[in-house]
Amino acid sequence: MDQGVLPVILCGGSGSRLWPLSTAERPKPFHPIAGDETLLQATVRRLAPSPAAPFLPPIIVCAAAHEDLVRAQLRAIGVRPAMILTELEPGGTALAVACAVRAAMEIAPDAAVLIAPADHRIEKPQDFRAAVMTAAGGASDDIVLFSARPETPETGYGYIRAGAARTGGLHRIDRFVEKPERETAEAMIAQGDWGWNMGLFLGRPAVFQDQIARHAPRVAARAEAAWSGARRRGSRVTLAAAPGPSVSLDRAVIEHSDRLAMVACDLGWRDVGCWNALWSASGRDRADNHLKGAATAVESSGCLVWSGGPPVAVIGMTDVVVVSTPSGVLVMPRSRAQEVGALSGVLPVRVFNSAVDELGSAPQQDAPHDLHRPPLDLR
């Protein structure tokens, strides 16, 4: 911990369950979903250095197509990253982390590395920073996970059961289960000793490398190929293609590792992965409606109404989601929010992936955080 904490911010994924706001061209981290700043900008600000939290300039991992967005949004808040690793094709978080810790070995081999997704919402940033410092102080030769008290039986999260207490405010991990079935998640919550895995991981670069090599040797080999064949220019490292299946760090390493610890924390954490999760995490009016932009709800309750352009109004509706952006319009019951990603197999690819409307019209020039949105080429 004497050498500080080096953040590795994973800025990948398509955020398909938040269509039509999130698209492949402009995914979830690049939108101001939970405030005035984008999720990426809010993540980077949480990791700004201070005397009590000696964070180093971050490493950003993103798709090559999103590098301009990353640089523009970081420049807008006055942050210069230590390095930007760009992927020519997505390989999953296991490969992204394996490459990032190679970078960390060059930049700060003795620092603790914090793996942090760019698309989470944390309502208590000071408590978050304190939890990271606790984890860094007690990590030793383990990978530390961060656990939040579960509120509902979510099937899209991993679950952690705390084991024996360790010094420094950490616990051993008795068991880790990634994305259980709903009945299993309900039973875990009823037991009372399970927490949500927040998707944050902290450890020394050498520890990450050891555990990836031990439990995911194919991922380690792909990372070696991607890193050794990378092209460098300034702070940009374009990783070489490393074909293989997309696999998460959780599945490839964390589920199998015996070098795990955890810190339990109450940070107001949310993985805003779908429209219902956004409704749950957002401020609402007396009728339980969350309204964004030029949105109106009359005699309606439990609704999320989001307008990214012309006015949108609902009358006499209950528990529905209505979203209108330049990329499309979505109307559905809130209870079916997890199914939005399936639209990728129904809508034309150019419509689902585009960050503009079907005719390719440009966004309004004064749209907030619209730092880069290329037009759709229909030729």
Rg of the chain over Cα atoms, rounded to whole angstroms, equals 21
**Tell me, what's the pLDDT at 350?**
62
Cis peptide before 348 (omega within 30 of 0): no
* Residue that the structure tokens 């706001």 belong to: 21
**Tell me, what's the pLDDT at 353?**
65
Please report, as a single letter, which amino acid is at residue 166.
R
Q: How many angstroms separate the Cα of 119 from the Cα of each of 60, 274, 312, 332, 352?
A: 13, 12, 26, 23, 20
**Cβ(160)–Cβ(170) below 8 Å:** no
pTM attached to this predicted model: 0.87
**Tell me, what's the pLDDT at 12?**
82
Extended strands (E) in the chain:
5-11, 59-63, 83-87, 112-117, 120-122, 143-148, 158-165, 171-178, 194-203, 231-233, 236-238, 260-264, 269-271, 290-292, 295-298, 304-307, 312-315, 320-325, 328-333
Structure tokens that stand for 4 in this block? 């500080």
Instruction: Measure the CA angle with vertex 304, ends 303 and 310; round to 5°.
Output: 120
**Cβ(119)–Cβ(29) below 8 Å:** yes
Percent of the chain exceeding pLDDT 90 equals 73
Residues 6 or more apart in contact with residue 102 via CB below 8 angstroms? 209, 223, 227
**Cβ(255)–Cβ(247) below 8 Å:** no
Residues 6 or more apart in contact with residue 307 via CB below 8 angstroms? 292, 293, 294, 295, 324
Nearest C-alpha neighbor of 290 from the set 299, 301, 347, 298: 301
Q: What is the DSSP string of 90-150?
A: ---HHHHHHHHHHHHHHH-TTSEEEEEETTEEES-HHHHHHHHHHHHHH-TTSEEEEEE--
**Cβ(375)–Cβ(360) below 8 Å:** yes
Separation between Cα atoms, residue 214 and residue 57, nearest integer Å: 29
Instruction: Encode pLDDT of 304-335 as tens digits.
Output: 999 999 999 999 999 999 999 998 999 999 99
Q: How many angstroms separate the Cα of 203 from the Cα of each of 95, 125, 135, 174?
A: 16, 20, 8, 18
Separation between Cα atoms, residue 139 and residue 315, nearest integer Å: 53
- Point out which residues pair with 165 in neighbouring strands: 171
- Cα-Cα-Cα-Cα dihedral sign, residues 277, 281, 285, 286: positive
Structure tokens that stand for 35 in this block? 């405030």
Structure tokens that stand for 238 in this block? 């374009």
**Tell me, what's the pLDDT at 122?**
92
- Point out which residues pair with 313 in neighbouring strands: 296
Q: What is the pLDDT along the chain (379 residues), one digit of tens a residue?
A: 568 999 999 998 777 899 999 998 999 999 998 788 999 999 999 999 998 899 999 999 999 999 999 999 999 999 999 999 999 988 999 999 999 999 999 999 999 999 999 989 999 999 999 999 999 999 999 999 999 988 888 888 889 999 999 888 899 999 888 889 989 999 999 998 899 999 999 999 999 999 999 999 999 999 999 999 999 999 999 999 999 999 999 999 998 999 999 999 999 898 888 999 899 888 899 999 999 999 999 999 999 999 999 999 999 999 999 999 998 999 999 999 989 988 877 777 666 666 543 333 333 333 333 333 333 332 2
